[in-house]
Amino acid sequence: MDKYLREEEPGVTERSGTAWGKSHDVIVHQSEPFNAESSLAVLVQQPVTSTEDFYVRNHGPVPELDPRLWRLSVDGMVDRPLEMSLEDLQNRFEHHEVVATLQCAGNRRSGLAKVHDIPGHPWGPGATSTATWTGARLTDVLAAAGAQNSAQHVAFEAPDVAPEATPPQRFGASIPIAKATGDEVLLAWGMNGRPLPAVHGAPVRAIVPGFIGARSVKWIDRVSVQADPSQNFFQSIAYRLLPPGIDPYSAPPGDGLALGPLTVNSAILAPDDGAVVPAGRTAVTGYALSGDDRGIARVDVSVDGGQSWLQAELDEPPSPWAWTPWRITLELPPGDVEITARAWDTSAAVQPEHEAHLWNPKGYFNNAWSRIHLTATERQGMSA
C-alpha cells in the first residue's frame, strides 16, 4: 500500500524499511526525534530530490495529525480572523506549485565544529534538498483575512513541543510581511505530487523559499499577523547568529541576528571526500544556492587551494527558488589533490575562504569554500 496516501487511514504510518518512509541511503543523525541528512551521492543524481531521500530536521516528536480534524487559524492584525479545515483551504484558494530548495541553517556545521566544538548535529552538506511543493499562497490567505497595513511580521505555530525549548512551548517562527506576501511562500499540503508525509509536516506546512529551513514550519496550525517578530524560542533564541564567546542560551532573547534569508553557499557532492580515483579526466559535481531571490552567477573550482580558478558549468536551476546544480571536468595528474569550490550569487556575494572566520556558537551558516581531498592513481596501461 502506498505509504503516503494517509487520508485513507488517518493516524497510521507505515514504517517498514527505515523510519518515516526514508530510503536506506539517508544518513540518520538521531532516531528520536528523527533527524537525517540526504546522501550526497543521491542528491547529485536528482535536481528535484525524491521524497524518500529528502533530509529531515525535527526538534521534537513528529505529531501524527488526523487531516480531518486539523484546523488552521489566521488571527492577529487581521480584519476577518479565519478558521479553516484542510478542505476549506483547498477549496477556497487557488492551488500553486513551487519547486523550492530547503536548507537547514546548520547545514555544513561539521566544518565549523572542526574549528571549535559545537553542540548539535554534525550536519554535512546534505541538510538540504529540493522538492515540488503544492499549496495555497500565504499572500492569498492573508488577503482573505484582511491583514492590516500596519502589520510587519507573520508568525507561524505548530503543535510539536521540543525538549530543548525553554520554557516548554510549541514550535514557532516568523517572517517579515514583505516575504510573507511573496508569491513563492506557500501553505503546502503536497510534496512531489503526493500528500505531505507526516515527517515533513502533514497535513500542511509553510514553505518559505530562500529562508533558513526553520522558518518553513511543519504541522502549521496557526498564522498570526503581528507588529513584532515571533517571541517563540526558535525565533528569538535558537536560530540566531551570535559572536563567539556568547552563551546562546543566556544571551537575552532578541540579541544577535535572528536568521532569515540564506547566504550564498555551495558544496561538492561527488566524488566523495577521500575518494581514490584514476588519474585523468574526473567529473566534479555539486550544488550552489543563495538566499531569498538571489540566483547563482558563477561557481569557481580550484585545484591549487584558490590560487587559480576554473569556472564550472551551471545547470539551469529547476526553478528560481531552487539550487543550481553545477559540474566541471578536471584533468588530474597522479597524486593527492585538494579540490575547492566557491559560488558567487547575483548580488556578487561570494563564499568566504575559511570556517575559522565564520565560527559562531550555534554553528549556523557555514558557507566557507567547499573542499574535498582526492587521491588520483596512475592508470594501468598508461606510460609515463
* Chain residues that interact with ligand MTE, rule: CB under 6 A: 54-59, 102, 104, 158, 160, 171, 200, 213-214, 216-219
Q: Are strands 96-103 and 82-84 parallel, antiparallel or unpaired?
A: unpaired
The residues near 64 (Cβ < 8 Å, ≥ 6 apart) are 11, 13, 198
Sign of CA dihedral 124, 296, 130, 134: positive
| Residues from 43 through 102 that contact Mo ion (CB under 5 A) | 57
Contact 178, 292 (CB under 8 A): no
The residues near 187 (Cβ < 8 Å, ≥ 6 apart) are 72, 89, 135, 136, 137, 138, 141, 204, 205, 206, 207, 220, 223
Closer to Mo ion by CB, 57 or 179: give it: 57
> Considering CB distances under 5 to 8 angstroms, the limit depending on partner class, which of Mo ion, ligand MTE, none binds residue 233?
none
| Residues from 310 through 349 that contact Mo ion (CB under 5 A) | none
Q: Which residue is nearest to Mo ion (CB)?
A: 104
Least CB distance to ligand MTE at residue 1 (A): 23
Closer to ligand MTE by CB, 26 or 301: give it: 26
> Considering CB distances under 5 to 8 angstroms, the limit depending on partner class, which of Mo ion, ligand MTE, none binds residue 232?
none
User: Rounded to an integer, what distance in angstroms lies between the CA atom of residue 9 and that of residue 151?
Assistant: 40
The backbone region for 260, taken as left when phi is positive above 0, alpha when psi lies in -120 to 50, beta otherwise, is alpha
130-142 burial by CB neighbour count: b if 16+ within 10 A, else e?
bbbbbbbbbbbbb
Q: Which of 145, 186, 208, 214 binds Mo ion (CB under 5 A)?
A: 214
**CA distances to 246, 283, 332, 384 from 381, in Å:** 58, 21, 17, 10
Least CB distance to Mo ion at residue 158 (A): 14
User: Rounded to an integer, what distance in angstroms lies between the CA atom of residue 59 and that of residue 170?
Assistant: 10
Least CB distance to Mo ion at residue 57 (A): 4
CA-CA-CA-CA torsion for 183, 184, 190, 194, nearest 10 degrees? Answer: 110
- Is residue 158 a contact residue for Mo ion (CB under 5 A)? no
- Is residue 104 a contact residue for Mo ion (CB under 5 A)? yes
CA angle 87, 102, 241 (to 5 degrees): 120
Closer to ligand MTE by CB, 214 or 297: give it: 214
User: Rounded to an integer, what distance in angstroms lies between the CA atom of residue 351 and that of residue 344?
Assistant: 7
Name the one range near Mo ion by CB under 5 A: 4-12, 19-27, 48-56, 208-216: 208-216
> Considering CB distances under 5 to 8 angstroms, the limit depending on partner class, which of Mo ion, ligand MTE, none binds residue 112?
none
- Is residue 135 a contact residue for Mo ion (CB under 5 A)? no
Least CB distance to ligand MTE at residue 366 (A): 14
- Is residue 213 a contact residue for Mo ion (CB under 5 A)? yes
Query: Hey, how many other C-beta atoms are within 10 angstroms of the C-beta on 189?
Result: 23
Closer to ligand MTE by CB, 159 or 352: give it: 159
Closer to ligand MTE by CB, 239 or 344: give it: 239
Closer to ligand MTE by CB, 65 or 102: give it: 102
> Considering CB distances under 5 to 8 angstroms, the limit depending on partner class, which of Mo ion, ligand MTE, none binds residue 219?
ligand MTE
Least CB distance to ligand MTE at residue 346 (A): 24
> Considering CB distances under 5 to 8 angstroms, the limit depending on partner class, which of ligand MTE, Mo ion, none binds residue 312?
none
Least CB distance to Mo ion at residue 106 (A): 6
Least CB distance to Mo ion at residue 11 (A): 27
The residues near 302 (Cβ < 8 Å, ≥ 6 apart) are 308, 309, 310, 339, 340, 341
- Is residue 200 a contact residue for Mo ion (CB under 5 A)? no
Nearest to 23 by CA among 126, 134, 103: 126
Q: Are strands 370-377 and 276-278 parallel, antiparallel or unpaired?
A: parallel
Least CB distance to Mo ion at residue 235 (A): 13
Residue 209 one-letter amino acid: P
Least CB distance to ligand MTE at residue 170 (A): 8
| Residues found near Mo ion in the complex (CB under 5 A) | 57, 104, 213-214
